[in-house]
Amino acid sequence: MNMSEVPVVDVRGPLTAQRGRLLGLLASLNDEQWAAPTAAPAWSVKDIALHLLDVDLSWVARDRDHDRAGMIPMSTRHEQFVRALGERNQRWVDGARTLSPRLITGLLQWAGEQLDAHLGTIDLAGASSVYWAGDVPLWFDLAREFTERWVHYRQIRDAVLPAGSDQPPDEFLPLVLRTFVWGFPHQYRAPAPEGTAIAVEVPGSGAWILTRTATGWALDEGEAGAPAARLRMSGEAAWRLLTGARYDASQVQLWGDQTLAEPLLSVRGIIVLDEPGGPSNRGRISIMIGFRKRGILIAAGAIAIAIGAGIGTATLAVGSAHAQGSGSITITGVGTDSQGQAQFPQVTVSVTCPVNDRFLVDATTVQGAASEGSLATEFCTGNAQNVTVNTAFPSSSAVYPGDGAGPVLVGATLQFVPPGTNFDNPGDTYIGTTANLTFP
């Protein structure tokens, strides 16, 4: 199913209602709760509220007033774009922290009224775009906006309510998940024969079928009769998994071919840029992995081992910093994008580690002086799990104008992090590998 075939969903009413819930919650908080830490690292409740104010004001400035002064050029390379977006978000929060809670809630209400008035004049079927989905109707862009506001509201609520507090089912959760689910055809890249079907099920929210086509994976609503793999999860676990948050692993079940099932757990519905020791950078774009330039990974000393041409593999059974974790890294070669062009060196990681520990896969490609990197973080399920990270060729490769084709060095590391520690702690890096690829 193409996005153009999906019926229009009007989220303007839910946007207004969600803002009302946010304002009601903020109005009930004391000073200590405004300063409480949230699931967004380095951001407090106040910081998230400030970010949401920025989101509303930016929409009004850009779409109503046609002011592009704060826009990040789309011509920027992926890694640079994601980093620039995160830095822009952080600059706003840092500069606006002098505002009082009363001012923040008042400005949120005013900005929301301005946004609602503008959205009442737009054509929901008009053209728009989403960074990871390409050209889409405007209603989907707004649905994506709604999911960001909803997730940040839940982060605030979780931060200020006592653990274990009984809450009624969230009326907007199905809307959120029916938007997030479009991340699957754009991020899921497990190789499979054409016609392979995979089921994704969230009872109470919907059921979908991922089907392998000649050009990639396609998403349709419905229940698969005999899927090669199946992912079933509760609504609560689904939104947390799809945003990189902690979730109850008992509420997520996988069946079938594990090489097809495990990669489903890596799909995300919001931007997640995890930089060791840094803030969580979340913006208007829904994408899973943040790219970054980092040539240092290739020169990682003892953890990098040369395997030769074509394939790189490294395995570690036990590490001194966290003896319960084990894993392996395999550089599988060059994947293909939706146009069938060789463009993505893929790093496959097999991991077994205690439930709710975290691990990070960091991959970098280098050609000459140019490098390009990507990373992904996951929570351990307690069982064996596989993660595939798609890197990008550096700017000097044949994909982009530069020095032309030639050997491309691909390196990867795997880190385990027990609860309560960070990825920048010494000794967390367990294994690394490199492989020489020739492209094209």
CATH architecture of the domain with range 3-173: Up-down Bundle (1.20)
Q: Identify the CATH homologous superfamily for domain 189-266.
A: SCP2 sterol-binding domain (3.30.1050.10)
- Report domain extents, the chain: 3-173, 189-266, 293-439
Digits of tens for pLDDT over the chain (440 positions)? 777 788 899 999 999 999 999 999 999 999 999 999 988 868 899 999 999 999 999 999 988 998 877 776 654 455 666 677 778 888 999 999 999 999 999 999 999 999 999 999 999 988 877 665 667 788 998 999 999 999 999 999 999 987 666 677 899 999 999 999 998 988 888 889 999 999 999 999 999 999 999 888 999 999 988 999 999 999 999 999 998 888 888 999 999 998 999 889 988 887 654 333 333 322 222 222 222 222 222 222 222 222 222 334 444 433 444 445 677 777 766 665 545 555 567 777 777 777 767 777 777 776 655 666 666 777 777 777 877 777 766 654 444 444 444 566 777 777 776 655 554 444 455 566 656 565 54
Neighbours of 425 (CB within 10 A): 14
Tell which CATH classification among 1.10.287, 3.40.50, 2.40.50, 2.60.40 matches the domain 293-439.
2.60.40
**Full-model pTM:** 0.64
The reply to whether domains 189-266 and 293-439 share a CATH topology is no
Phi and psi torsions of 198, nearest 5°: -130, 135
To the nearest 10°, report the CA torsion of 47, 48, 50, 56.
Answer: 160
